[in-house]
Chains A and B, each alone.
Chain A
Amino acid sequence: MSTSKTLIKALALTAAFGIAAGCTPKTQLLTPGAADEPVTMGLSGSDFAQAASDAVQSMLASGAVDRNDGKKHVMVVSTVLNDTMQRIDTDQLVKKIRVDLLRSGKVLTTTAIGLNGAEDKMTQAYAELSQSRKIDRSSLVRQRLTAPNMSLSGKIIQRNNRVDSDKQLVEYYFQLTLTDLANGLAVWEGETPIRKLGSAKGTSW
């Protein structure tokens, strides 16, 4: 009797584990652009890629970053405000733009100058190496930092609106401006709206 009870318990446990394991969603790699790519109410990587792509394509197509003297523009990243209900690192947007502008051969980005100091602290640290006795002075290179001539700034805005009783419309606006630092004029401006309609029960933050 006790043997059969133990057997039943073991079978029940095995079945329970089997069902639990079978119900566990599998982790999978997503293929970019695939039909089953999940769409979220919040901002996802593909939204940032879309906004960055639109911005770079618009800049290149407009000729705003073209120079006819054979030189390249030097851009500094100013402030990109996050005016959404989500905690966003705006570098998700800015880095994509920087990478693509660098690839285009039209724009270089300075990492030595910024509103909050140098992005790459090594630039400043390198300047202090000349004071160190441990350094072979002959190996030092004289620093001449290039001043930027263009500034990228912007804002990400979110607006939530109720549609009917059970749906909500979440709108995101990626607004960017490229300013010529020589005269303070905006030489390029762009806005990418991304609109999502989903359940009112879901949250977008």
Chain B
Amino acid sequence: MYKTAAVAMATVLTLLGCQTRPQQDELYPQLLIGPKAQGYLQIEGVQQGVASSDLLRAGVRLYNRSRTEQILRYRFSWFDAQGFELKGLAARWERQVLRPNEPVTLDRVAPGPNAVSYRIQLFDLQSPTASTTQGIDG
């Protein structure tokens, strides 16, 4: 009985360890977090608002719960009503150094008034991104 449970537990742990796909956060569906970043990111909340009258503004409050400094690679993706991704500087990959337990807020204003939804991708610097869309670099 114990043996079976131990084997099952080992299998589950192995599968978790081998997980390479980024996962959508259950509490915050706008977040797409990479496998390595999931190990040290603690999400405190996602904010949404409006800037300059009609531009969607989104943000995420987080901190690094590990004991070492981490480098986060993140990107805000913006979508219009038809689901097409909008390009712009607000959709570029950026980096953020996360010191242990230091709260950080990342927020961006949408590139245009036609943005109605967004997604925030949070990856560790060393993790490859799952999405093939890379936006533009400026």
B137 and A32 contact, CB distance less than 8 A: yes
A104 and B111 contact, CB distance less than 8 A: yes
B134 and A31 contact, CB distance less than 8 A: yes
B-side interface size class? 20 to 34
A60 touching B51 in the complex, CB below 8 Å, given contacts A33-B75, A33-B93, A105-B113: yes
Residues from chain A with Cβ under 8 Å of B31 in the complex: none
Interface hits, B24-81 → A, CB 8 Å: 51-55, 57, 73, 75
Interface check B17, CB cutoff 8 A? no
Interface check B136, CB cutoff 8 A? yes
A35 and B138 contact, CB distance less than 8 A: no
A100 and B134 contact, CB distance less than 8 A: no
A100 and B94 contact, CB distance less than 8 A: no
A61 touching B93 in the complex, CB below 8 Å, given contacts A32-B136, A49-B137, A103-B88: no
Instruction: Specify the chain B residue showing the minimal Cβ separation from A60.
Output: B109
Residues from chain B with Cβ under 8 Å of A56 in the complex: 89-90
Question: How many residues of chain A have a CB within 8 Å of chain B?
Answer: 27
Interchain CA distance A103-B136 in the complex, whole Å: 14
A60 touching B89 in the complex, CB below 8 Å, given contacts A33-B75, A49-B137, A105-B113: no
Query: How many pairs of A and B residues are in contact by the CB < 8 Å rule?
Result: 79
Residues from chain A with Cβ under 8 Å of B125 in the complex: 35
Q: Which of A62-70, A110-118, A165-173 contacts B (4 or more CB under 8 A)?
A: A62-70
Interchain CA distance A33-B125 in the complex, whole Å: 9
B77 to chain A, nearest CB (A): 13
Interchain CA distance A45-B92 in the complex, whole Å: 13
B53 and A32 contact, CB distance less than 8 A: no
Interface check A160, CB cutoff 8 A? no
A65 and B73 contact, CB distance less than 8 A: no
Interface hits, A53-95 → B, CB 8 Å: 53, 56-57, 60-61, 63, 65-66, 68
Interface check A14, CB cutoff 8 A? no
Interface check A48, CB cutoff 8 A? yes
Residues from chain A with Cβ under 8 Å of B136 in the complex: 32
A48 and B138 contact, CB distance less than 8 A: yes
Interface hits, A31-59 → B, CB 8 Å: 31-35, 45-46, 48-50, 52-53, 56-57
Interchain CA distance A104-B115 in the complex, whole Å: 10
Residues from chain A with Cβ under 8 Å of B111 in the complex: 100, 103-104
B52 and A106 contact, CB distance less than 8 A: yes
Interchain CA distance A56-B73 in the complex, whole Å: 20
10 A/B residue pairs, CB under 8 Å, sorted by A: A32-B92, A33-B93, A33-B134, A34-B93, A35-B126, A57-B89, A57-B90, A57-B108, A103-B88, A104-B112
Q: Which 3 A-B pairs have the closest CB atoms?
A: A33-B93, A49-B138, A32-B137
